[in-house]
Structure 1
Amino acid sequence: MKSAYKFSNLCGTVYSNGNLIFTPDGNSIVSPVGNRVSVFDLVNNKSCTLPFEMRKNIACMALSPQATLLITVDESGHGFLINYPRQTVLHQINFKAKVKSIKFSPNGKYVAITHGNHVQVWKAPGFTREFAPFVLHRNYTGHHDEVLQISWSPDSKYFLTTSRDMTARIYSTNPTPGFTPVTLSGHRSEVIGAYFSNNMENIYTVSKDGSLFHWRHTTFVDSRGLDSDEEMELGENFIDHVRWRVQKKHYFNQGHGTKVKSCEFYANSNLIIAGFTNGIFGLYEVPSFTTIHTLSISQKKINAVAINPSGEWLAFGCANMGQLLVWEWQSETYVLKQQGHVYDMNALTYSPDGQTMATGGDDGKVKVWNATSGFCFVTFSDHNSSVKAVEFAKQGQVLFSASLDGTVRAFDLVRYRNFRTFTSPNPVQFTSLAVDPSGDIVCAGTMDTFEIYIWSVQTGKLLDILAGHEGPISSLDFSSSGMALVSGSWDHTARVWDVFGRNKHIESLQHQTEVLAVAYRPDGKQVAASTLDGQISIWDVDESKLVANIEGRKDISGGRKTDDRTTAENSSSGKSFNSLCYTADGSSLLAGGNSKYICLYDIESTSLIKKFQISDNLSLDGTQEMLSSRKMTEFGSVETMDNDEDELSDPEDRIDKSLPGTRGGDLSARKTRPEIRSLAVRFSPTGRSWAAATTDGLLIYSLDDAILFDPFDLELDITPVSVLETLHEEKDYLKALCMAFRLNEKKITQQVFEGIPPDSIPLVARGLPEKYLDKLLKFIGVHMETSPHIEFHLLWVTNLLTAHGRYLKSHRGEYQAVFRALYKGVTRVRDDIAGLCDNNVYTLKYLLSQQTLAKQTTDVTMD
């Protein structure tokens, strides 16, 4: 059993807080997700999460103009310097204050950050490891309250800052003769955005109360209205003495109480994008302030706005709803529309082929995710209450869900509809679900009547009700044969039911405490049950005998909450597993619960193989082992008190609508921090990955590394000459092919590709690194359309698919475009050959007929 599972991706959460960034090519968007960073490729339709975690939730980010460096800063002011192409952390720095905004200069030489009511400009570091990558250039003062936002001029010589003191200021990066910092005042609320135009003759400032001021650059001479003779008397230096005057005042007028939450400026087209607290965004052309587009995209306030370099796509982030939207405003269509579960994610399951996953949450929604791309492609909102269990059936074409609203629903994943709803004669709450392997029978356990209901999927009729438990049904699972059903209950028992037998035989497996989860081994001969005391009992089903007992109390314990009065070792709360899952071979068991740990056990030796920590985020409760006594007061921990003054600056935001002591419900409004825990764990049917539904989202751990090691990245002398020498003289064909792809010159790649002998193709195909598989298949697909070497290309395709078929099948979502190109090339070649053969057949028939005709003519002449 392999245990080298590493964090692979994060689904279920697309945006949490902070700013959004488009990459310079405009094809990807970088989004903060808790204390992680996710990158969404909008062209290739896939997402990935960078393999690092910050100490707390990310507050702001900045990407260098060349997309080589990424700087992320968390809520406490700790920053990471990241090599963005290689996804590695180069350096860490503590800015020693909360950072509201951070921006690279357009020339990439400086980084400006907010530091309280000051602004610091640092020299931009390189993307190599240095002793002190961050060197402070200058510290700028002048604001009387916290600085909120920074924007640079196009030439990187000046930058604008906005503040809560209702002003904006202009600073110069380096001392400029005749220039003094300028204050732009006049707004009646805090200024949240200020931007230079491309020609630097105009400045646009946006305040929170919905006003937009247009400032224009004038000289003192212009402002006093002097004529040309008086201008000449002032001398040539009067141009250095300039002032900024309000040219025009505009107002968004979105209704009473609606404020601007976020804004962005696109200088190339003079467009202002504003996101409001009522979920509406507006697109305006300045300086005329013409409304181009307005649209309601959310029910909550829009926290972040971004626009791609070409100005076609607008990105919006809504923290309260967990939404990330990318809107193409010219065609008025969505490029990306993703939203995670608003509340906790309760249930998780894999499809039989491992390509899709389904989740159910407290928001009553059932979401289906593509395991390869990480995107949700369908959401079902038919339930009216929390979804507690989800299961696939029928080769992944049917999805079942059980909810506290008293219904079990069946969804068709071909037509995306709810085609069957199962209900009970009396109102109940369903907490568990099981589907037999054939997909014809569905069972659900209840919370209140302690019964198990059995329905027929074909007819929708209730077939039977299994009674006998004396407590809520916590978990259900069918055996692989579909003949037996195991149920776990709070009445300290797990029962094995003969569902299809006439005698309704029942085996009762007694435990010491409440049973929280049960699971059948894939061969159906063993059952695992976890109990409230932290133990996992392994039962032989045929003999109803306890085979092994795993003591997992100390394994899962860890993490101390901020309001705990005892240490993590002595705390007894939450030390149990509420979700179990066997591996595909049945030799190991994966278990998760109300803890930051997920444990992998070997069943034969009952020993812990590996313990996975699902998060290091200090913004979540239960991730720390030791608490600092400095943060404890007589009123409780300082960390649980609401210190976000910017969010509570308005009277309507200060109204506390939450019930006393509530920990569930709206995560954005409650006073306590979310607690780290895993509510469901599942192994992929392939055994190459497993997933966990946690507070952070849907975490995927995989054996397949997202970043493949490429030794050719270390080469510095890859030139056309060295590539051809490797091909012809050294005859190292694999190395020459990889070097050609690194060089990325089409003529050299074609020359190397055609220079590989046919008898060496199988060996080169087997040794080709997976990193270059995509490039080679794309090259073959394009080259096949123009090259006459038909058998050569088909030989390459056959050997590549034979050698890397398993990898291509598990990543088929990423290679859809490549497969289509290959199919197009092969089909065109087949059609050409078929047409050529048909023409040759007709030509041969014609020649044969001509020969027969000539022979007949000769015979007639001789006669």
Structure 2
Amino acid sequence: MKANYKFSNICGTVYCQGNVLFTADGNSLLSPVGNRVSSFDLLNNKSFTFSFENRKNIARIALSPDGNVLISVDGDGRALLVNNKRGVVLHHFDFKKPVKDISFSPDGKFIAVTHGSHIQVWKTPNHLVREFAPFVLHRTYTGHMDDVLSIQWAEDSQCFITTSRDMTARLFTLYPVKDYRPKTFAGHRDAVLGAYFSKDGNTIYTVSRDGAVFTWKGKVEAPNSDSSDNNEDDDDQPIASTSNGLSSSSSSPLSHKIIHTRWGVHRREYFNVPGSNVSTSSRPAKVITTTYHASSSLLIVGFSTGIFGLWELPAFTNLHTLSISQESISSLAVSPSGEWLAFGAAHLGQLLVWEWQSESYILKQQGHFLDLNTLTYSPDGQTVATGGDDGKLKLWSMQSSFCFVTFNEHSAPITGVAFARYGTNVVFSASLDGTVRAYDLVRYRNFRTFTSPSPVQFNCIAVDPSGEVVAAGSTDTYEVFLWSVQTGKLLDILTGHEAPVSTLEFCPEGTNQLASGSWDRSVRVWSVFGRSRASEAFTLNADVLALTWRPDGKELAVSTLDGQITFFDVAQSKQTNVINGRNDISGGRLTSSRTSAANSTAGKSFNSLAYTADGRCVLAGGNSKYVVLYDVREGEGVLLRKFTISENLSLDGTEEFLDSRRVNEAGVNIDSLMIEDEEEDADRRRVDSTLPGAQGGDMSVRKYKRAARTKCVRFSPTGRSWAAASTEGLLIYSLDSLNTADFDPFDLSLDLTPSSVLSTLHSKSYLPALVMAFRLNEAPLLQTVFEGIPRGDIKLVVRQLPVMYLGPLLRFVGGVFLKRTPHVEFGLLWVHAVLMIHGRVLRAGGGAVGGYSSSNMGGDMPSVLRVVKAALGECEETLSRLCDQNMSNLSYVIDQIGFHHYAYCGQTIDTIPH
């Protein structure tokens, strides 16, 4: 069993806060997800999350024009310089103040960053050279009286315009210009959110929070003119402080025109978008975010009511207005071509990409509004179902990492989801609203609802392997209910527990046994299909939180409140092993805790357990930032690895020690309180909509930090990955990013090189070439050798292949070849040959056949076969879809031929096509 799982992706969250941006080609979208960054491929409909982490939630991200350098800045101003191609962190840097905006110059040589009321311009570090001090300060610009909110560069990178909360905008030059004073654009009555240059540089547009758009124009004046601008401050502003004291008067024609123009207000326009019906019905909605596409002269604005609009400048023509969210739009971006618009709503976690010309969605994703509670894998491992406190059931594709369907029939938090072991077309969910629902994944509808005779709250769910019976445990009547899936009728009510039922699971091997755990410190194993309805009880020392069966159905693992994992042999009704994991799961101190992390008793238990596919290891997670993997093959449980699900300091419980200087006079840690920012329209959120006529609301309302915890962990049926339902979303840890085959250095020699492998292949020694490629374990070389073997020699090569290479061969075919190459038939020939020739060895699995054990076969065969099964299922789905499309096209052609023949015979048309 491999323990080197690495972070692979985040699926349950698509956007948290900060800004979203397109790549230079416009085909991908970058979105901050907590303290990480996710990339969404809009052409191939896939997404992935970078592995690097900021210290806190990301506030701003910026991408260089060439797409090589990515900068992510957290809420405290600490930045990471990342190689965007490889996702490798190159440098760490601290701007020492919260950053409102960061922007690369169009030529990519400089980075402009807000620094309170100042602006700092840094030289862009070289991502190809390792430097001791990569960030070199170019200049610091002053003049604003309040925080700077945005920075916009001119197209030639020689000047830029900034906006501030002091209701002004200022125009600065990159290099000092003789007799030039930074020009001030004043006149707005609220904070200026954005200022933009037109394509020709003759016009500047400024947009304020109150919905005013000012158009600034002017005429070119002499460089040495002594006349003063009407829109400049009365006091003389210094040019700017510079690190080297050099000055330059050389500039491009565009910047020369912008700098030496006497700007004045040419036109004033107002959006006047109606506000919310709850709090601001008599006032227009506030502008939250804005952007401008210079090539098409489009101004895109997002409002606090979830409405966005497109205006064509300078005519100020409203092209489009649409409500896309129930909450305010936090961020928006426009693709380089101007065709796609990206929107992010932080309050609901929405991410949208809209093609405004065709009025269609390119991407529409939303994570769970509240915390994730539970998850489960489909039997083929291609789909993950998640349930959250928002009452929604979401299905996520592991191929694209996108949510492809959402069910919102539940009216209370979902506490459990389950698939039937055989068949993937039905998923079940249990909720605190007193219902258990079954969903059809073919027609995407809720086709069955199960209820109890009297209203109860269901805390857990289980489905028997055949999918015919579903069971749910209640929290208030302490009973287990069983229903028939076919008829929807209640079959039986199992009584015996004396406290809420916390966990349920059917035996995976079809022995008709149901295990239930309760807070009454007992586990019961029921014979649900027997006439006696007998149950066997196992008594423990603390409340039962979670249980799971070993895949072979012979052992039961139980987690209790005292932090122990107890193992029972069900057939012999005896306890076999105990793991004390209190010290393994403990970690991280809550800001509200009065004791240290070592002395705290909270969270030192596992609330979710999962066996690996081979039954050798147990994965456990709880109310902590750690997920623990134990090896349970030996008599004593051995800790293999501790996974840290998050190092985000914006979450509670990620720090081992707290700073006592952050405690106020009331004894409350000020880090536990999150004051809402002005840009989030805090006044509107504080309004109490339940009170008629309420305008101000409760001004003491605050948001508290969410704690880092794991509520559910599950292994993929293939054994190649596992998922955790955590505070930050659905975290995926996988082995697929690593090598796809085992690396054996003892089989290497000096003459074993890629060139020798290719020469062996060219000499038609196919079996030695394949074995040598497996020993080197280089994916491109292995694929070259694999495709170089003629199809007529496949059976001969497979027959003579050593049994130890069967596992690597099947894993390569199922995990790489069938998924990444179009040679489907060629891959199927290899799979068919292996199954037909070595089927007896593969069926033995962990046993020994002909002197070969599972270790001789190159790994865990059950997980390898699941990988092949998943790949074959995906191929079948793709081919079925293609065949259906071809059948539809052929039917259309036949109908058209029949129509023309009928028209010709009836002489209703004059021209008959040949």
Match of 1:218 in 2: 219
Alignment match, 1:694: 726
Distance 1:797 1:482 in 2: 34
Q: What residue identity is the alignment partner of 1:473?
A: V
Question: Structure 1: 5+ residue runs without aligned partners?
Answer: 227-236, 660-667, 710-722, 738-743, 745-751, 782-792, 828-863
**1:608 Cα deviation from its structure 2 partner:** 1.3
Q: Determine which of 431, 434, 442 is the counterpart of 1:406.
A: 434
Distance 1:583 1:642, change over 3 A: closer
Equivalent pair of 1:218/1:242 in contact (CA under 8 Å): yes
Q: Residues 449-500 of structure 1: CA distance to partner in whole angstroms, max 9, x if unpaired?
A: 1111110000000111111111111000000215111101111111111101
CA distance in 2, matches of 1:132, 1:99: 20
The one-letter amino acid of 2:664's match is: T
Task: Work out whether 1:286 is the aligned partner of 2:318.
Answer: no
Residue identity matched to 1:430:
F
Partners of 1:83 and 1:127 within 8 A in 2: yes
2:571: which partner in 1?
A: 542
1:402 CA drift (Å): 0.3
Which residue does 1:621 correspond to in 2?
A: 652
Equivalent position SS for 2:194? strand
Identity level (%): 54
Residues 208-263 of structure 1: CA distance to partner in whole angstroms, max 9, x if unpaired?
Answer: 111111111324699x9x9xxxxxxxxxx999752111111111111224101111
Q: Confirm or deny: 8 A CA contact 1:579 1:591 kept in the other structure.
A: yes
Distance in 2 (CA, whole Å) between partners of 1:546 and 1:239 is 81
* 1:529 is the counterpart of 2:558: yes
| 2:273 maps to which of 224, 246, 254 | 254
CA–CA separation in structure 2 for the residues paired with 1:48 and 1:643: 31
In structure 2, the CA distance between the partners of 1:461 and 1:823, relative to structure 1 (3 Å rule), is closer
Indicate the SS of the match to 2:273: coil
- Matched-pair contact (CA < 8 Å) for 1:210–1:253: yes
Runs of 5+ in structure 2 lacking a partner?
228-255, 275-282, 692-699, 742-753, 774-779, 798-804, 835-863, 888-914
Alignment of 1:224-243 (within 5 A): 241-243=260-262
Deviations 1:132-158 (A, max 9, x none): 221111100010000011111111111
In structure 2, which of residues 710, 717, 723 is the aligned counterpart of residue 678 of structure 1?
710
Asked if structure 2 preserves the Cα contact closer than 8 Å seen for 1:519 and 1:528, the reply is yes
Alignment of 1:743-822 (within 5 A): none
Q: Which stretch has the larger CA shift, 127-136 or 553-562?
A: 127-136
Partner of 2:106: 106
Paired residue for 1:234? none
Distance in 2 (alpha carbons) for counterparts of 1:587 and 1:337: 40
Query: Please, which moves more after superposition, 813-822 or 125-134?
Result: 813-822
8 Å CA contact 2:740–2:812 kept in 1: the answer is: yes
Distance in 2 between residues matched to 1:532 and 1:130, nearest whole Å? 51
Instruction: Assess if the C-alpha contact under 8 Å between 1:364 and 1:387 holds in 2.
Output: yes
8 Å contact kept, 2:288–2:680: no
Asked whether the equivalents of residues 68 and 85 of structure 2 are also in contact (C-alpha less than 8 Å), the reply is yes
1:198 Cα deviation from its structure 2 partner = 1.1
The CA deviation at 1:176 is 2.6
Contact 1:436–1:482 (CA under 8 A) maintained in structure 2: no
Instruction: Find the partner of 1:652 among 684, 687, 692.
Output: 684
Distance 1:177 1:732 in 2: 74
- Count of aligned positions: 771
Of 622, 625, 629, which aligns to 1:600?
Answer: 629
Q: CA deviation at 1:658?
A: 12
Aligned AA (1:2): K
How much does 1:646 deviate? 2.4
Q: Which amino acid in 2 is paired with 1:404?
A: L
Q: What is aligned with 1:831?
A: none
Give the structure 1 partner of residue 337 of structure 2: 310
156-165 vs 209-218, greater mean Cα deviation: 209-218
TM-score by length of 1: 0.82
What residue number does 1:579 align with?
608
What's the secondary structure of 1:633's corresponding residue? coil
Contact 1:406 1:427 (C-alpha < 8 Å) held by counterparts? yes
CA distance in 2, matches of 1:55, 1:159: 30
Shift, 1:564, TM fit: 1.4
- Given that 1:364 and 1:385 are in contact with CA atoms closer than 8 Å, whether structure 2 keeps it comes out as yes
Go from structure 1 to structure 2 and tell me whether the alpha carbon gap of 1:689 and 1:195 turns closer, same or farther (over 3 Å shift): same
Shift of 1:769: 13
Distance in 2 of aligned mates of 1:547 and 1:340: 41
Deviations 1:780-807 (A, max 9, x none): 78xxxxxxxxxxx987996799899987
What secondary structure, in the 3-state scheme, does the structure 1 residue paired with 2:639 have? strand
Whether contact under 8 Å (2:504, 2:514) holds in the other structure is yes
Change in CA separation of 1:686 and 1:727 when aligned onto 2, cut-off 3 Å: closer
Cα pair 2:588 2:656 within 8 Å, conserved: yes
For residues 800 and 422 of structure 1, what CA distance do their matches in structure 2 show?
A: 42
**Kept after mapping to 1: 8 A contact 2:810/2:868:** no
- 2 CA distance for matches of 1:570 and 1:422? 44
Gap change, CA 1:779 and 1:411, over 3 Å in 2: closer
Taking structure 1 as reference, are residues 186 and 28 closer, same or farther at Cα in structure 2, changes over 3 Å only? same
Task: Write the letter of the residue equivalent to 2:598.
Answer: E
Q: Which residue of 1 aligns with 2:383?
A: 356
User: AA paired with 1:180?
Assistant: R
* Structure 1 residues 808 and 336: CA distance shift in structure 2, 3 A: farther
2:51 counterpart of 1:51:
yes
Query: Within 2, Cα distance between the matches of 1:530 and 1:724?
Result: 54
Q: Distance in 1 between matches of 2:156 and 2:210?
A: 30
Q: Is the 8 A contact 2:565 2:580 kept in 1?
A: yes
Once the two structures are TM-superposed, the CA of residue 507 in structure 1 deviates from its matched residue by 0.7
Paired residue secondary structure (1:652): helix
| Residue in structure 1 matched with residue 161 of structure 2 by the alignment | 160
Q: Using the TM superposition, give the Cα deviation of residue 315 of structure 1 relative to its aligned residue in structure 2, in angstroms.
A: 0.5
SS at match of 1:555: helix
C-alpha separation in 2, matches of 1:725 and 1:317: 53
Amino acid at match of 1:245: G
Give the CA deviation at 1:656: 8.0
Using the alignment, how far apart are the partners of 2:610 and 2:132 within structure 1?
46
Amino acid at match of 1:652: R
CA distance in 2, matches of 1:459, 1:609: 46
Match of 2:852 in 1: none
Structure 2 CA distance for partners of 1:137 and 1:819, relative to 1, 3 Å? farther
Q: In structure 1, the residue corresponding to 2:678 is in which secondary structure?
A: coil
Does the 8 Å CA contact 2:564/2:582 hold for their aligned counterparts? yes
C-alpha RMSD over aligned residues:
3.9
Q: CA deviation at 1:178?
A: 4.5
Please list, as runs of the form range in 1=range in 2, the aligned pairs for 1:485-496 lying within 5 A after superposition. Answer: 485-496=514-525
8 A contact 1:647–1:653 mirrored in 2: no
Instruction: Supply the distance in 2 between the matched residues of 1:239 and 1:674 (Cα, whole angstroms).
Output: 48
Q: Match of 2:442, SS?
A: coil
Partner of 2:663: 632
Aligned partner of 2:232 in structure 1 is: none
8 Å CA contact 1:658, 1:670 repeated in 2: no
> CA separation in 2, counterparts of 1:811 and 1:683?
18
Shift of 1:341: 0.5
- Is the Cα contact below 8 Å between 1:778 and 1:818 reproduced in 2? no
Q: State the partner residue of 1:149.
A: 150
Query: What is the deviation of 1:526?
Result: 1.3
Distance 1:587 1:140, change over 3 A: same
Shift of 1:587: 1.6
Structure 2 counterpart of 1:254, one-letter code: V
Contact 1:774 1:815 in 2 (8 A): no
Q: CA deviation at 1:647?
A: 4.4
Give the Cα–Cα distance (whole angstroms) in 2 for the partners of residues 434 and 207 of structure 1.
55
User: How far apart are the structure 1 equivalents of 2:431 and 2:154?
Assistant: 55
CA contact (8 A) 2:60 2:72 kept: yes
Return the alpha-carbon distance in structure 2 between the equivalents of residues 461 and 550 of structure 1. Answer: 41
Q: Take 1:383 and 1:688, find their aligned partners in 2: how far apart are those partners?
A: 32
Q: 1:445 to 1:809 in 2, by over 3 A?
A: closer
